[in-house]
Amino acid sequence: MVRANLNKDPDDVSKMFDDVATRYDFLNDLLSLGRTKAWRRAVTSIIAPTPGMKILDIAAGTGSSSRPLVDKGAEVVALDFSEGMLAQGRKQNKDIKFVQGDALNLPFAENTFDSTTISFGLRNTSDTAAALKDAFRVTKPSGKIVIAEFSHPTNNLFKKLYLNYLMKALPVVAKKISKNPEAYVYLAESIRAWPDQAGLALLMQESGFKSVAWQDLTFGIVAVHIGYKADVAKDTSAKP
């Protein structure tokens, strides 16, 4: 089994997700104590998909994040770099368009999508800033990006309990229920190393997104960030 590390070598990360693809959604629900569905509902509400809206779901995995967007009538492209995850997604969601691709080099023209989104995948890219800049490139002017990612609990006591679970309990549970428990050790380590809410907001702003804000879910275990690509023609703050 492949053990990805925090250098996030693309081949290692891709192979790791290939290994866990068949049980990925089930284990996520289990190890998050059933919160993943609620988090996805919140993300869908913030994206506010409508019939005909063009949405790129980056690091879509098996399509669990794309499913509610498609059900609302949006035209969704589910992109992931793990062929194992895509193969499982095609079995589970035959009406979703899956595309293999790299978040750092998206295979789409600029200004293609009304909205781009990435749920629990930005953390796994080898270059966060590059991934954000390419998402910005393919988003239409006046469009938005919505990012759901594990973050930093805002309550100090709860934060200690949460980190204890991540670094001690989660790996123990993963060894009992997963064929690749090392993947969940990587998960815990990558969450601890990830920027806090304000840190990710700053990276989004540096990538070009405007009016960046976030909403904490489950005491800040997850944060949903939103940012907008300004329409220069309508941006009164733009200088001549």
For residue 187, the domain's CATH number is 3.40.50.150
Could you tell me which of 32, 11, 2 has the C-alpha nearest to residue 218? 32
Of the candidates 235, 16, 202, the residue with the CA atom closest to the CA atom of residue 213: 202
Q: Looking at the domain assignment, is residue 240 inside a domain?
A: no
pLDDT of residue 12: 65
For CA atoms 23, 26, 28, 32, the dihedral sign is negative
Q: What is the pLDDT confidence band of residue 75, given thresholds at 50, 70 and 90?
A: very high
Report percent pLDDT > 70 for the chain: 78
Q: Are 227 and 209 in contact (CB under 8 A)?
A: yes
Q: Is residue 26 scored above 70 in pLDDT? A: no
Stated pTM of the model: 0.86
Distance CA 59, CA 118 (A): 6
Residue 84 resides in a domain: yes
Please indicate, yes or no, if residue 170 is contained in any of the structural domains: yes
Distance CA 88, CA 114 (A): 27
Q: Would you list the DSSP string of 37-78?
A: HHHHHHHHHHH---TT-EEEEET-TTTTTTHHHHHTT-EEEE
Residue 115 is assigned to a structural domain of this protein: yes
Does the residue 234 lie in any domain?
no
Q: Is the pLDDT of residue 49 over 70?
A: yes
The answer to whether position 235 is within a domain reads: no
Sequence letter at residue 140: K
In degrees, rounded to 5, the angle at the alpha carbon of residue 45 between the alpha carbons of residues 41 and 46 is: 120
Residue 23 resides in a domain: yes
Which has the closest alpha carbon to 103: 42, 4, 231, 14?
14
Q: Work out the pLDDT band at 172, boundaries 50, 70, 90.
A: confident
Q: Is there a domain that residue 5 lies in? A: no
Q: Please report, for residues 23, 121, 189, 211, the alpha-carbon distance to residue 30 in angstroms, rounded to integers and kept in the order given.
A: 11, 18, 19, 35
Residue ranges making up the domain that contains 219 = 10-228
Range name among 149-163, 165-179, 202-216 with the lowest pLDDT average: 165-179
Domain count, the chain: 1
pLDDT of 238 reads 46
Average pLDDT over residues 178-200: 82
